[in-house]
């Protein structure tokens, strides 16, 4: 049965609430979202037909600052998924001490079926529909699954045209030419890299000798595969929605990146040494570090007993179910949770937002240094609690993130 991500998100709150003895009133409050907008997006298609898509923007919590979180375009997007993703953004920003809340948006659409013109219309109409819900002081969207810098540029332009002035700080992940930040594209991958490097050091594992499997070959999976490949790791398998490729001696990642950059699917790549595998097979293939970097609910009670790795590094949001989490913990497999592992993206988004507001831009060296500093600080905080209490890394990360939200809630009080 398909797990509902929002039910998962709420179960995770219950787990941490129990562990830290959280006030039941705060727990109840955290399990609610502040607000949600559902919008209809009518588009006149190139063939003259009218299609109506459904879009969402959810604010889970703005108690620590304006909402922050991506927008995804995917066929399975629904309100509960967006609510879960917004909730996870709250914890992610809090864990990193960013002065931002949690938000997320999405449109239920398969963008591969749209022309560029249709995609632009869809984006601009969606941006118009949520215009009063977003803004530098309200909620700042960013890219997520199947969205990119061009889509952020259309949102920034639509918002700016309506306001009658340029407002670069309304979205992050923009092209550099219109207020984007250097290093934003690689940020999630870089963050994963800093975190796994730190974890390997703690476990006295040499990162460059580890065997890696990556599910997902988009902005997150593609970057982390490349960074680890450049480090010397063997990348045994990678996959996209079409399926995966496996080679026990290690895949040539640069060639595969070039192939997918041209719009091709991995399954069509021609190298006789590589074996075609399914996404399900990929997850249960033996390796040292397994990196789910695609969608939620990939490691569940159905396949958790077949997972054969030392570390799961969550590039995606919500790839592991709470039940699977428990089993992995019992088996001694370390799960580096999404809210820490993949937080590099929102961290550099925050840098982009700060740069836009100050109209002063940093160089790549500064971006990566500050990214590393913030992530390693969060990693050390999480690791300390994990060691102290002998609990899963996710619960340790949640204790920190949830405590900060609870504290802010307490300080602000209940209005009126």
- The CA-atom distances, in angstroms, between 28 and each of 14, 32, 332 are 9, 7, 32
How are strands ordered across the β-sheet holding 50-61?
Answer: 35-44, 50-61, 102-108, 67-74, 139-143
Q: Which stretch binds ligand GLU (CB under 6 A): 66-74, 152-160, 294-302, 408-416?
A: 66-74
111 DSSP assignment? G
Binding status of residue 74 toward ligand GLU by CB under 6 A: no
Q: Which residue has the tokens 């009126």?
A: 416
Largest CA distance in the chain: 68
Binding status of residue 172 toward ligand GLU by CB under 6 A: yes
User: Which residue is catalytic, options 10, 68, 83, 104?
Assistant: 104
CB of residue 345 to ligand GLU, shortest distance in Å: 4
Binding status of residue 183 toward ligand GLU by CB under 6 A: no
Give, for 171, the enclosing helix (H) or strand (E).
Answer: none
Binding status of residue 87 toward ligand GLU by CB under 6 A: no
Between 99 and 138, how does the x/- string for binding to ligand GLU read (CB under 6 A)? ----------------------------------------
Binding status of residue 394 toward ligand GLU by CB under 6 A: no
User: What beta strand segments (E) does 109-210 contain?
Assistant: 139-143
Binding status of residue 142 toward ligand GLU by CB under 6 A: yes
Distance CA 291, CA 294 (A): 9
Q: Closer to ligand GLU at the Cβ: 288 or 338?
A: 338
CA angle 229, 239, 118 (to 5 degrees): 115
Q: Closer to ligand GLU at the Cβ: 27 or 188?
A: 188
The residue within the footprint of ligand GLU, chosen from 65, 105, 191, 345 (CB under 6 A), is 345
Distance CA 179, CA 174 (A): 7
Pick from 115, 29, 37: nearest CA to 71 = 37
Binding status of residue 68 toward ligand GLU by CB under 6 A: yes
Pick from 284, 381, 293, 374: nearest CA to 333 = 284
Distance CA 341, CA 394 (A): 10
CB of residue 196 to ligand GLU, shortest distance in Å: 17
Q: Which stretch binds ligand GLU (CB under 6 A): 11-19, 68-76, 292-300, 320-328?
A: 68-76
Binding status of residue 349 toward ligand GLU by CB under 6 A: yes
Give the torsion sign (CA, 185, 187, 193, 196). Answer: negative
104 is catalytic: yes
Binding status of residue 69 toward ligand GLU by CB under 6 A: yes
Binding status of residue 144 toward ligand GLU by CB under 6 A: yes
The residue within the footprint of ligand GLU, chosen from 317, 355, 368, 395 (CB under 6 A), is 317
* Contacting residues toward ligand GLU, per CB under 6 A: 68-70, 92, 142, 144, 172, 317, 342, 345-346, 349
Active site residues: 104
């Amino acid at each position: 049965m398909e797990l509902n991500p929002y039910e998962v998100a709420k179960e995770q709150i219950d787990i941490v609430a129990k562990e830290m003895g959280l006030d039941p009133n705060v727990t109840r409050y955290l399990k609610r979202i502040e607000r949600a907008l559902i919008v209809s997006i009518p588009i006149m298609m190139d063939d003259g037909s009218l299609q109506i898509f459904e879009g969402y923007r959810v604010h889970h919590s703005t108690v620590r600052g304006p909402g922050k979180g991506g927008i995804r375009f995917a066929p399975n997007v629904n309100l509960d998924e967006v609510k879960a993703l917004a909730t996870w953004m709250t914890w992610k920003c809090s864990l990193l001490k960013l002065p931002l809340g949690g938000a997320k948006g999405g449109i239920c659409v398969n963008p591969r079926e749209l022309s560029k013109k249709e995609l632009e219309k869809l984006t601009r109409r969606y941006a118009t529909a949520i215009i009063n819900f977003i803004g530098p002081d309200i909620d700042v969207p960013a890219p997520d699954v199947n969205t990119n810098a061009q889509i952020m540029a259309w949102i920034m332009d639509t918002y700016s045209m309506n306001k009658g002035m340029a407002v670069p700080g309304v979205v992050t992940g923009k092209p550099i030419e219109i207020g984007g930040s250097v290093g934003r594209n690689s940020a999630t991958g870089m963050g994963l890299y800093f975190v796994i490097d730190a974890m390997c050091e703690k476990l006295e594992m040499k990162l460059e000798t580890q065997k890696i499997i990556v599910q997902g070959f988009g902005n997150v999976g593609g970057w982390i595969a490349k960074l680890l490949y450049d480090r010397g790791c063997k990348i045994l398998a990678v996959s996209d929605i079409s399926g995966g490729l496996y080679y026990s001696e290690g895949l040539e990642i640069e060639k595969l990146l070039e192939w997918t950059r041209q719009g091709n699917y991995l399954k069509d790549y021609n190298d006789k040494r590589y074996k075609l595998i399914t996404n399900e097979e990929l997850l249960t293939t033996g390796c040292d570090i397994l990196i789910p970097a695609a969608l939620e609910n990939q490691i569940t009670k159905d396949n958790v007993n077949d997972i054969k790795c030392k570390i799961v590094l969550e590039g995606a949001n919500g790839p592991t179910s709470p039940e699977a989490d428990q089993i992995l913990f019992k088996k001694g497999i370390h799960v580096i949770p999404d809210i820490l592992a993949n937080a590099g993206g929102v961290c550099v988004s925050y840098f982009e937002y700060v740069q836009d507001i100050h109209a002063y831009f940093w160089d790549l060296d500064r971006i990566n240094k500050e990214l590393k500093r913030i992530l390693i600080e969060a990693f050390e905080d999480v690791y300390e609690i994990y060691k102290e209490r002998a609990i899963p890394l996710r619960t340790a990360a949640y204790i920190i993130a949830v405590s900060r939200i609870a504290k802010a809630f307490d300080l602000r009080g209940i209005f009126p």
